Amino acid sequence: MEQFSLDNIIIALLFASDEPLAVKRIASVLDGVDAADIRESLCRLESRFGGEDSAIRLEQVAGGYQLCTSPRYSDYVALLYRGRRKQRLSRAAMEALAIIAYKQPVTRADIEAVRGVGCGGVITTLMERSLIRIVGKARILGSPFLYGTTQEFLEYLGLNNLGDLPSLEDLGALLEREAASESADETAAGEGADANAETRRASDAPDAAQGDEGEAALEASDLPEERDDPPGVVEEENGPSASTGGSAAPEKAGKPLVEGPEGESRGEHGLDTEPR
């Protein structure tokens, strides 16, 4: 480890980490390095990245240190993530989170009294996002849960501690910007969906035309063939028979005779075949 400077080692650790690193955490990784030396190195890095022309800044977030891009280059970073839908909190969730942040620890009834509406679903969402947690129970009737913010809440807002929370006026402006940005993203997503649908309809049009032509050809092939049979010949189930205008009764050759009760010979339908 001696061939590398402590500053560069800490930069590598901060760059590889997906969360802010506290001095204690860095000291546990760099066994044998004193915490005072780590703090001095971090101070040098803050000065090194603190220039106006630096695209990288060292920020204190949630009690630790984290490498961040400079706000001056935010427009270019936004181009990199253009088209991705941001996972923002709804306005109701932001309002409930603000009440918890400024009045913590707070019960659900206190939050609903400020907002004027129920907030059970909002509290569930904030807990699923690990932005709030249960910090205890109130010593009142029913012992309701008390809610407070988490370290993830500080990371979400880029704050080092709760003392860095903006004023209520700044918080209102932040909520307005979040709402406007969310509305703009929804509008852009809707326009993109309409454009994609129009493109699909245009690409499906030639295929539909070809499909209609194929169905027409298939229907034509299923039609019976026209036959040039001579007139007067009709093809029947048991073979062709000539029709001559009159219909001759078929001969009943070899039909059995049926004997009546008096010994008379009767035909097939019981008619006498000989006169009495």
Beta bridge partners of 136: 146
The span from the CA of 24 to the CA of 31, in Å, is 11
145 and 134 Cβ atoms separated by less than 8 Å: yes
69 located within any domain: yes
H helix count then E strand count, the chain: 9, 8
State how many domains the chain has.
2
35 and 21 Cβ atoms separated by less than 8 Å: no
Q: Mind listing the pLDDT tens digit for each residue in 26-50? A: 999 998 889 999 999 999 999 999 8
Say if residue 20 is in the same domain as residue 59: yes
61 and 21 Cβ atoms separated by less than 8 Å: no
Domain termination site, one of 138, 166, 194: 166
201 located within any domain: no
156 located within any domain: yes
- pLDDT confidence of 173, banded at 50, 70, 90? confident
What average pLDDT does the segment 52-63 reach?
Answer: 88
* 147 class by beta-carbon count within 10 Å (0-12 exposed, 13-18 middle, 19+ buried): buried
108 located within any domain: yes
pLDDT more than 90, % of the chain: 27
User: Any idea what the CATH number is for the domain that residue 104 is in?
Assistant: 1.10.10.10
Q: What is residue 205's DSSP assignment? A: H
DSSP secondary structure of 167-182 = PHHHHHHHHHHHHHHH
Say if residue 22 is in the same domain as residue 49: yes
Tell which wins on pLDDT, 193 or 88.
88
273 and 267 Cβ atoms separated by less than 8 Å: yes
| Amino acid 4: pLDDT | 74
17 located within any domain: yes
Q: Mind listing the pLDDT tens digit for each residue in 184-222? A: 656 655 665 566 666 666 666 555 555 556 555 555 555
Q: CA triplet 117, 146, 158: central angle to 5 degrees?
A: 85
Domain termination site, one of 148, 166, 184: 166
161 and 154 Cβ atoms separated by less than 8 Å: yes
Q: Is the peptide bond before 105 cis (omega within 30 degrees of 0)?
A: yes
Report the mean per-residue pLDDT for the chain: 75
Q: Mind listing the pLDDT tens digit for each residue in 115-129? A: 889 888 999 999 999
Q: Mind listing the pLDDT tens digit for each residue in 140-161? A: 888 999 999 998 888 888 888 8
28 located within any domain: yes
63 located within any domain: yes
Tell which wins on pLDDT, 222 or 5.
5
Q: Is the peptide bond before 230 cis (omega within 30 degrees of 0)?
A: no
Tell which wins on pLDDT, 225 or 242.
225
What average pLDDT does the segment 51-62 reach?
Answer: 88
> Which residue range forms the structural domain that includes residue 64?
6-80
- pLDDT confidence of 241, banded at 50, 70, 90? very low
Question: Is pLDDT of 91 > 80?
Answer: yes
153 located within any domain: yes
Say if residue 101 is in the same domain as residue 157: yes
- pLDDT confidence of 170, banded at 50, 70, 90? confident
What average pLDDT does the segment 242-266 reach?
Answer: 47
| First-last CA distance in the chain | 139
